[in-house]
């Protein structure tokens, strides 16, 4: 009888597992042009979001801090951060997102944000990006080469790194996909990021940021738009099914609107580490 070969942690090929999970995911990764066209709507949808307050509450910001915001989008974090720090560099691969950010900064009289159009894969040094006290990557870890991205963000932080990554189906609603007859696979989430960091010799802190399941809307159109962003190319039958699904989740109605309860809460993993004591890179 031959003894079976024991499996070890070192035998796990996390990049391969993640690549396979990315290939099976039930949602489409958006490119720069997709985000260009959605920049204004996305900015409005995320402007007053509980996630922002939860994320910012963990950042060690001061009036002498310099911050690098990677995947800054329309300034969801950069705009409020700028009000409490020395300076912030906001980078994104979408020109439309950065234009929206710059317009908002001008309207608010914010002058300490520098925006640079570039992607994770670009040579940041050639874009005149230097290490900052704090490097932030909020909900922007859907990259092809996760290990390279983590090494890069670590090298561009002097003191702290803060990233957030998906937990399970977040930010999608798996039940909504099923309701319209579409298959849903969540793809890789934060556990791949944690294990990749572990293999790099980085042992981070993890905090779960959970947002209330209850969503409040004034109109059905507003509610529909809140769910529609999850899908690409909805046909008429799917739109009707999605409307029915939203109606089935209404838990309260009043003169000011109505409440829709998600089947599962939105949960993000806030992953952070201090450079001096928690990295071997």
Q: What pLDDT, on the 0 to 100 scale, is given for residue 279?
A: 53
Quick check: 269 pLDDT over 70?
yes
Q: Do 191 and 269 meet the contact criterion of CB atoms below 8 Å apart?
A: no
Q: What pLDDT, on the 0 to 100 scale, is given for residue 160?
A: 98
Q: Do 275 and 158 meet the contact criterion of CB atoms below 8 Å apart?
A: yes
Write out pLDDT tens, residues 107-130. 999 999 999 999 999 999 999 999
Write out pLDDT tens, residues 229-253. 888 889 999 999 999 999 999 998 8
Write out pLDDT tens, residues 125-150. 999 999 999 999 999 998 999 999 99
Q: Which of 5, 174, 164, 157 is nearest to 73 (CA)?
A: 164
Q: What residues contact residue 19 under an 8 Å CB cut-off, 6+ apart?
A: none
Write the DSSP symbol of residue 7. P
Q: Do 139 and 163 meet the contact criterion of CB atoms below 8 Å apart?
A: no
Write out pLDDT tens, residues 19-63. 888 888 765 665 565 544 454 454 455 555 789 999 999 999 999
Q: What pLDDT, on the 0 to 100 scale, is given for residue 280?
A: 54
Write out pLDDT tens, residues 146-202. 999 999 999 999 999 999 999 999 999 999 999 999 988 888 999 999 999 999 999
Q: Do 163 and 137 meet the contact criterion of CB atoms below 8 Å apart?
A: yes
Dist. CA 204–CA 212, nearest whole Å = 25
Which tokens go with 153?
């963000």
Domains of the chain listed by start with CATH number: 13-213+266-274 (3.40.50.150)
């Amino acid at each position: 009888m031959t003894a079976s070969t024991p499996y070890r942690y070192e035998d796990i090929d996390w990049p391969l597992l993640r690549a396979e999970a990315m290939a099976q995911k039930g949602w489409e990764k958006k490119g720069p042009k997709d985000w260009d066209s959605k920049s204004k709507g996305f900015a409005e949808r995320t402007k007053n979001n509980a996630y922002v307050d939860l994320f910012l509450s963990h950042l060690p910001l001061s009036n002498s801090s310099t911050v690098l915001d990677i995947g800054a989008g329309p300034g969801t974090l950069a705009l409020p951060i700028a009000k409490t720090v020395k300076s912030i560099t906001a980078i994104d691969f979408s020109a439309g997102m950065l234009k929206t950010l710059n317009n908002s900064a001008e309207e608010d009289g914010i002058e300490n944000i520098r925006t640079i159009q570039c992607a994770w894969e670009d040579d940041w040094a050639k874009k005149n990006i230097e290490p900052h006290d704090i490097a932030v990557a909020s909900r922007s870890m859907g990259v092809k080469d996760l290990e390279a991205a983590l090494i890069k963000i670590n090298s561009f932080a002097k003191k702290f790194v803060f990233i957030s990554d998906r937990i399970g189906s977040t930010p999608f609603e798996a039940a909504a996909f099923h309701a319209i007859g579409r298959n849903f696979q969540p793809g890789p989430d934060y556990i791949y990021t944690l294990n990749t960091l572990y293999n790099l010799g980085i042992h981070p802190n993890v905090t779960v940021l959970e947002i209330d399941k209850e969503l409040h809307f004034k109109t059905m159109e507003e509610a529909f738009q809140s769910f529609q962003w999850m899908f690409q190319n909805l046909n008429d039958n799917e739109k009707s099914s999605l409307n029915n699904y939203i109606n089935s989740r209404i838990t309260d109605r009043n003169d000011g609107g109505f409440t829709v309860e998600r089947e599962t809460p939105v949960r993000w993993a806030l992953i952070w580490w201090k450079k001096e004591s928690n990295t071997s890179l």
